[in-house]
Structure 1
Amino acid sequence: MTARYNIYFNGYESFKAGLLKVINGHTDDYAELLKVFEYSDPSSATRCSSDMEKAIQKASKLISLKSITARPEGKEKERMTTADEELLNRKEYNEWVDDSYLLIAKSRFYKQEYNESAAVFEYCISQANDPMVRKEASIWLARIYNEKGKYSESYRTLTELEIPSKSSKGLKAMYYTTMADLFIKQQKYSEAIDPLEKAIDLVSGKRTKYRLKYLLAQLNEQAGNASAAISLYRDVVKMKPPYDVEFNARINIAGVFDVNAGNPREMRKEMEKMLKDSKNKDFLDQIYFALGNLSMKEGNDSEALEFYRKSVSSSSVNQNQKGRSYLALADYYYREQDLMKAGKYYDSTVFLLDKNHADYQALRSKSQNLNTVVSQLTIIQTEDSLQKVAGMPESERNALILSIINDITKAESEGKTSQYSDRYNLGQFYENERRFQDNIEQEGKWYFYNQAALTFGRTEFRRRWGDRKLEDNWRRINKARSSGSMSATEGSDNTQNVADSSITETLDYKKPEFYLKNLPLTDSLLALSDSRIANAYLNAGKAYAEKILDPEDATESFEKIIARYPGSELVPEAIYNLYKVNKDINYTKSETYRQRLIKMFPETEFARMISDPDYYNKKMEALKMAEYLYQEAYNTYIRENFTIAVSLCDSALKKYSQDYLAPKFILLRAYSIARIS
């Protein structure tokens, strides 16, 4: 009695308190696939740790103080029943010890101490007297396997486990929710539907029921069962859940809606009605996003883009929704092959999305790969713009610069920050002005209502300054010293330098020289500009081929080097890359480039690599031999055999005069001669 109503009771109360913190502390993102269990949130362990530790202490105390292992006196062997034999073979005679071990294991599970928890569950499975405790421990062990990604072991554990029909609803619900979680974690959404349907009929509690019903609707949506998903979302609404759940269910109905099977006008009216409802003032971004998806399904791309932009510009604390809206814009422009815009929008997507988002790493990788291309395209555009401005008549060029300075002066007189005042040079301004104007014409006149311009500006800021915390004095070198208590002399040099630099920068962009400084106005500067363009085309082509996996654009980029700069030293490498890129998709074209490279540039490394398949191996062997000879010459020098060292260096320099080790041989030879002298 003491074990149950004192020690175990207090321990289990602590466990329940910790469990309640896990549930109440978890916030569902109803725009994403829900988690079956709240404990799958990585941060849940910190919320419940102290309560679970207390539960472990209480359960451990019960085991140490109340365990009964002494056997009772038995009957004579010939008079024993099977039940009597089973009783005498027990290792533990206090039934609350089994429950205490189970409580310890569950508490460690919620603390995410999975290895320790698994060991205790395995003990329960092998040693517990109560068969229901053994079965529950097996289900919990499967949950550990799910969390650790050991899906085959989880499936084996669950399929080998027999749950009798007379088992409690709670045990059955545990089994089916765990099986559903197993399939969902493997993205086998169709297979997760059946066990989740069974679980919903068994679980208790309004919150649990509407969450799982909502998840079931999402699974049907993922599996392509649109009508079933819509019906289930409507069931969620009928359950009268909290408003945010009801709202998201209605939004998802619009998302699943089939414009070919239903009436899109009615759905649009419902969405527009939601826009006018004052209860939805914090959800406008989601409504606009849903309208954008509806327009996209109808094939009205321009209207869809407008709704996505409205979604982004709506005031909301929901950063994930902003990220999803940016992602919709990014995906659209990516499909349209407008990589400049796509790159900027993917950059914003990654910046705003939660790092725990299922697709975060894939999107981050895609954004980085796109930025590799975009950075080279930006160089090409900037240099082309510089050359275009440099080629203008002087009077026309001066008039352009004067108009820029006037725009800046006017903006500052109106208390605004000009979008042109922080550009590095005229070429960048010239290109950016064109892009800004295109965006502003599409999206509205004022900069801060213009999401494309904001996206561009955010990316430009991060490119120049990195990720800066929003705070006072963010540009100062020494922010720690910029408080009001700073003495008159303390840090004055740094502060003055920063101030002087800031003033100079402010003055510079109002002077014509600021815009003229990078213009290629001489033949030598024009040659440097051409070199930067050619290198950018080469790097862009490689990025298209290796990062974006786009051989067509890679081919176009490499061919532009040959067309624009036929005398460039990069032409052999461009032809070699054209041969490689087209090898698997257009053999005839690839062969043409191979023959062209061998014929026009037979002495280049690239031609040798093509004409001799074993060339690379030979090259590596030669490098190894050069390294061996250098090591031999160096060791000879250390042994003070300077004459032999000089001889070895001379021999190496005859064979490997162009090798990267040649300078080392020359230096070692000089040292050896000096020692001989």
Structure 2
Amino acid sequence: MKTFTKASISLLLVVLITQSCSRKKDNFINRAWHSVGTEYNILYNGEIALQQGLETVNNAYTENFWELLPIERFEANTDEVRLGNKAENSDFERAEEKATKAIQKHSMTINGKEKNPQIDEAYLLLGKARYYDQRFVPAMAAFNNILNKYPSSDKINQVKVWREKTNLRLGNPELSIKNLKRHLKQEEVEGQDLADISAVLADAYLDIKQKDTALKYLDTAAVASKINAQKARYHFIRGQLYNEFGKKDSANMAFDQIIEMHRKIPRAFYINAHLAKSNNFDAETGNKLEFLEYLTELEENRENRPFLDKIYHRIARYHQSQSRDSLSEVYYNKSIASNKTLNNDKVLFARNYLTLGDMYFDRTEYKTAGAYYDSTLTNMVEKTKPYRVVAKKRKNLDDVIYYEGIARANDSIIDLVKLPKEEQVTFFNDYIKELKVQDSLAKEFEKKRADKAASRSGSSKGSGFAGLTGPGGRTVPGLPGSNSGSNSDFYFYNPTTSAYGKEEFFKLWGERKPQDNWRLSAGRKGASSEGKGGETAEEIVTQLELYDPEYYIKKLPSDKVILDSIATERNFAYYQLGLIYKEKFQEYILAKDKLENLLKNNPEERLIIPSKYNLVKIYELLGQTDEYEIAKNNLIAEHPDSRYAEILRNPNSQLAKDQNNPETVYENLYRKFEAQAYAQVISEAEENIKRFEGDGYVPKFEILKASAIGRLKGFDAYEEAVNYVALTYPNSEEGKRAQDILKDALPLMKSKEFLPEDEGNSFYVIYQFDSAQKEEIKTFKDKLSKIMERLPYKDISLSEDVYNENTTFVVVHGLTYLTSAMGFGPTLDDYTLDNEKPITKPYITASSANYAIIQRHKSLNEYINPE
């Protein structure tokens, strides 16, 4: 009986389960079975997978508080719209699979209606998984499916939010605004749903640059949201927008609301709210002591340690605003050090390095400033406007560093030479004191290094591990000789201190040979001079001599020719610095200082007039009216025939604007270069180089002259001319371009070897003329052009090319085959009309590659008559 009962119950259960699995029967058991199975099995696991995927996305995302925060903490790839069904994130793929499984196995569509109340949630999960995987078009299909099939779903508000978020990602903000505003009119929405809808509307208005309207919806979202992290985000964006509108009080109220939430929100929002509020402090009206105490409290709070890099940066900016530069520099460096160990925030790195670079630039320590600008650029995004600004400033700094180095060195020499003997002795005695301190430190360092090396050597012997290596010959970590451990304090095991030490050594001693008594001058690599009869004589300098001021005094130049050369070089450096500070950096005070000092130093005639003119313009830019009038009248009176005097007398004249303007002269000359008037370009370039001597356009005339020489005289003459530009103007744009040509282009152009003609894919027909036969050349070209119009060749053309001073080529381009080029004469005869004279002038054929070699090396004779 018992067996029968158990069997009956089992059979009944099987029947019930079988019946309840059916998706075609609309009864309570079936609906309950599929609803529970969907919610607590498949969708539960799908939601877990979705959350795991979101955690991965969030961990990879870094908040950028330096810019306007995004309303949604999500970074979409705006470069492409992914349409495929293949997920890139395995967690989102799993969530999508679970949602799809729920729909396929548990959907109960009976008489056109869905009877399983969980299917709308399955579609919502499907859409979210696709959205976060950045497949927005398939995500939109999932959300639209709910709206079309389940209009009475209790998730309808959420679905509309997600659909319009997707529209935003697809670049349709106007449609998002239209749909959501209509929904708000039709439905009573409150609570978190209202917050979410308002946030999407704010995002859409930000997208179409209507920030004031976006702010209104953000206010609603911040109040309605029940999620503290969201509230903090919305309030922070509100504060940022109010700051953009110049409403600092409203911005501070928004930041205060974040600060009041304190530990209820992520610490990053709490700290950045403090820092953003501190940026609105008015140093003129506010209590500076209280403000500094406020910043110090942020610095000393142990909970704020992960954000010390930003706190140090804010303190540094405050001290800088109060002209406490040395203290601000300390904090900028502390910010850099903290950032390296904490957050590696590239924006913060760039701001710190840029500020320090500007500080050193203002102190005229250009080499150090350049190093900071280099570090700034490595932490900036390329091809952005801020990057280009810093890159340009850094590039211009090369010239400043170069000319400041010359100016300082030559000034020092000239000043030392002018000093009385006793003051020279005093100067070098002071230098010798510093040298002795350096020697003492070097000896102490050597002793410590030797002691440490001996200690390590003894330790390894006693341990019995000397020379022990691991598999593959690698040194065993942690043993003497290993550099893999980060805790080693041995100098040369630390790459940072080792590199610093090397740099300091070379600054002090130069490059030395590894030998005894390496401090002697003879120890320098290559420190030798040619003696009589070609013998090499090395100067042996004892330490006693190095400590004797007479040793240095004897090395000071005394020959007037050498001293004049040093002064001339210094004066030109001053002139260049004046122009650079004025034109490239708009540092008019520095420019004025350099040019005024130049005029006091008896400069060469070529520098006097342009220096005076640039000073006139600088006084005008600085608003120094009296100095401007005096300098202007002085230049006109003392140099009445100069082009600068003409410009100052009549600044609106065509002569002042055009004829005497080096830019206009250069442009006109360049047009002549394009017209192949190479001899004229060379001649006029030489005239203008003398005329504009000292002007920034001179290197441009030089490189144009070099190009004309190359076109007219060939490779060797071009190489010589380019080399002159590279050596004479090494820090100008043209000088650097000349260096690049010498290094990269000329080696590729050097070969004179002609290539086999049958390997070419384009061929020329070349007619030679005497360059003086202008009318004959013109008549020939007109005649040949008319006949060429009838030829069956596509894309052929005619040009007139200068070969050298005496020869001009008329060249037919664009023939595809060598046979076509060689048979060009007979082909012309076939298409010459009866009333026209045939063209009987002899011609040469050459491939395009060989024609380039002929022109480049002026090797027509070698081509016609090969040995």
**TM-score (normalised: structure 2):** 0.49
Q: Deviations over 1:446-476 (max 9, x none)?
A: xxxxxxxxxxxxxxxxxxxxxxx9679979x
Provide closer, same or farther for how the CA distance between residues 642 and 228 of structure 1 changes in structure 2, counting only shifts above 3 A: closer
User: Is 1:271–1:291's contact at 8 Å kept on the other side of the alignment?
Assistant: yes
User: 1:318-467 maps to which residues of 2 (within 5 A)?
Assistant: 318=342, 319-320=344-345, 321=348, 323-329=350-356, 340=366, 343-344=369-370, 347=373, 350=376, 355=380, 361-391=384-414, 392-393=416-417, 402=432, 405-415=435-445
Give the greater-gyration-radius structure (CA). Answer: 2
Provide closer, same or farther for how the CA distance between residues 398 and 625 of structure 1 changes in structure 2, counting only shifts above 3 A: same
Within 1, Cα distance between the matches of 2:363 and 2:166?
A: 48
Report which stretch shifted further, 531-540 or 190-199: 531-540
Within 2, Cα distance between the matches of 1:110 and 1:509?
A: 67
SS in structure 1 opposite 2:202?
helix
Structure 1 residue 136: Cα displacement: 2.9
Return the match for 2:45 from 3, 10, 13. 10
The amino acid across from 1:239 in the alignment is M
Q: Alignment identity in percent?
A: 17
* 1:653 corresponds to 2:693: no
Within 2, Cα distance between the matches of 1:619 and 1:401?
A: 54
Determine the structure 2 residue equivalent to 1:53.
Answer: 93
Structure 1 residue 25: Cα displacement: 5.1
Within 1, Cα distance between the matches of 2:438 and 2:663?
A: 60
Determine the structure 2 residue equivalent to 1:541.
Answer: 579
Within 1, Cα distance between the matches of 2:517 and 2:145?
A: 77
Structure 1 residue 199: Cα displacement: 0.9
Within 2, Cα distance between the matches of 1:347 and 1:506?
A: 41
Structure 1 residue 52: Cα displacement: 1.4
SS in structure 2 opposite 1:256?
coil
Provide closer, same or farther for how the CA distance between residues 267 and 550 of structure 1 changes in structure 2, counting only shifts above 3 A: closer
Provide closer, same or farther for how the CA distance between residues 662 and 504 of structure 1 changes in structure 2, counting only shifts above 3 A: farther
Determine the structure 2 residue equivalent to 1:610.
Answer: 661
* 1:228 corresponds to 2:241: no
Provide closer, same or farther for how the CA distance between residues 62 and 379 of structure 1 changes in structure 2, counting only shifts above 3 A: same
SS in structure 1 opposite 2:262?
coil
Determine the structure 1 residue equivalent to 2:165.
Answer: 140
Provide closer, same or farther for how the CA distance between residues 226 and 643 of structure 1 changes in structure 2, counting only shifts above 3 A: closer
Provide closer, same or farther for how the CA distance between residues 296 and 594 of structure 1 changes in structure 2, counting only shifts above 3 A: farther
User: Is 2:222–2:235's contact at 8 Å kept on the other side of the alignment?
Assistant: yes
The amino acid across from 1:229 in the alignment is A
* 1:257 corresponds to 2:278: no
Within 2, Cα distance between the matches of 1:110 and 1:557?
A: 60
Q: Deviations over 1:377-411 (max 9, x none)?
A: 22122112322344434975876775564343233
Return the match for 2:259 from 218, 237, 247. 237
Return the match for 2:223 from 190, 201, 213. 201
The amino acid across from 1:373 in the alignment is N
Provide closer, same or farther for how the CA distance between residues 608 and 273 of structure 1 changes in structure 2, counting only shifts above 3 A: closer
The amino acid across from 2:333 in the alignment is V
SS in structure 1 opposite 2:278?
helix
Q: Deviations over 1:491-521 (max 9, x none)?
A: xxxxxxxxx97756998887498899x9999
The amino acid across from 2:674 in the alignment is L
Within 1, Cα distance between the matches of 2:282 and 2:191?
A: 37
User: Is 1:184–1:192's contact at 8 Å kept on the other side of the alignment?
Assistant: yes
SS in structure 1 opposite 2:389?
helix
Return the match for 1:157 from 176, 191, 211. 176
Report which stretch shifted further, 129-138 or 638-647: 638-647
Determine the structure 2 residue equivalent to 1:620.
Answer: 671
Q: Deviations over 1:284-304 (max 9, x none)?
A: 55445444555566xx322x6
Within 1, Cα distance between the matches of 2:368 and 2:69?
A: 28
Within 1, Cα distance between the matches of 2:124 and 2:616?
A: 65
SS in structure 1 opposite 2:445?
coil
The amino acid across from 2:195 in the alignment is A
Structure 1 residue 580: Cα displacement: 11
Q: Indicate the structure with greater helix content.
A: 1
Report which stretch shifted further, 548-557 or 236-245: 548-557
Q: Deviations over 1:23-74 (max 9, x none)?
A: 355454657654433213889x9x99221122233344556667788965xx
The amino acid across from 2:95 in the alignment is A
SS in structure 1 opposite 2:388?
helix
Within 2, Cα distance between the matches of 1:11 and 1:625?
A: 75
Within 2, Cα distance between the matches of 1:472 and 1:341?
A: 21
Structure 1 residue 15: Cα displacement: 1.6
Within 2, Cα distance between the matches of 1:364 and 1:622?
A: 35
The amino acid across from 1:163 in the alignment is H
Unpaired runs of 5+ in structure 2?
Answer: 1-33, 448-493, 501-509, 528-545, 547-551, 647-656, 679-707, 715-753, 758-762, 774-799, 809-850
User: Is 2:377–2:387's contact at 8 Å kept on the other side of the alignment?
Assistant: no
User: 1:53-132 maps to which residues of 2 (within 5 A)?
Assistant: 53-61=93-101, 72=112, 103-113=125-135, 116=137, 120=141, 130=151, 132=157
Within 1, Cα distance between the matches of 2:772 and 2:859?
A: 5
Provide closer, same or farther for how the CA distance between residues 510 and 373 of structure 1 changes in structure 2, counting only shifts above 3 A: farther
Provide closer, same or farther for how the CA distance between residues 390 and 176 of structure 1 changes in structure 2, counting only shifts above 3 A: same
User: Is 2:676–2:802's contact at 8 Å kept on the other side of the alignment?
Assistant: no
Unpaired runs of 5+ in structure 1?
Answer: 73-86, 418-468, 476-499, 601-605
Aligned length: 557
User: Is 2:404–2:573's contact at 8 Å kept on the other side of the alignment?
Assistant: no
Provide closer, same or farther for how the CA distance between residues 643 and 371 of structure 1 changes in structure 2, counting only shifts above 3 A: closer
Q: CA RMSD in A?
A: 6.2
Structure 1 residue 599: Cα displacement: 9.3
* 1:175 corresponds to 2:197: yes
Determine the structure 1 residue equivalent to 2:818.
Answer: none
Within 1, Cα distance between the matches of 2:802 and 2:57?
A: 75
Q: Deviations over 1:579-601 (max 9, x none)?
A: 99999999998x9899734999x
Within 2, Cα distance between the matches of 1:597 and 1:505?
A: 62
Structure 1 residue 305: Cα displacement: 5.4
User: Is 1:53–1:107's contact at 8 Å kept on the other side of the alignment?
Assistant: yes
Determine the structure 2 residue equivalent to 1:313.
Answer: 334
The amino acid across from 1:616 in the alignment is E
Structure 1 residue 179: Cα displacement: 3.5
Structure 1 residue 144: Cα displacement: 0.9
User: Is 1:373–1:544's contact at 8 Å kept on the other side of the alignment?
Assistant: no
User: 1:450-529 maps to which residues of 2 (within 5 A)?
Assistant: 503=513, 511=521, 523=561, 527=565
Within 1, Cα distance between the matches of 2:58 and 2:802?
A: 77
Determine the structure 2 residue equivalent to 1:675.
Answer: 865
Within 1, Cα distance between the matches of 2:863 and 2:601?
A: 50
Q: Indicate the structure with greater strand content.
A: 2
Q: Deviations over 1:93-130 (max 9, x none)?
A: 9887766565444334323455x557647965996653
The amino acid across from 1:157 in the alignment is S
SS in structure 1 opposite 2:221?
helix
Report which stretch shifted further, 368-377 or 571-580: 571-580
User: Is 1:630–1:649's contact at 8 Å kept on the other side of the alignment?
Assistant: no
Provide closer, same or farther for how the CA distance between residues 609 and 506 of structure 1 changes in structure 2, counting only shifts above 3 A: farther
User: Is 1:326–1:345's contact at 8 Å kept on the other side of the alignment?
Assistant: no
Within 2, Cα distance between the matches of 1:119 and 1:470?
A: 54
User: Is 1:233–1:250's contact at 8 Å kept on the other side of the alignment?
Assistant: yes
Provide closer, same or farther for how the CA distance between residues 327 and 294 of structure 1 changes in structure 2, counting only shifts above 3 A: same
Determine the structure 1 residue equivalent to 2:642.
Answer: 596
Report which stretch shifted further, 204-213 or 399-408: 399-408
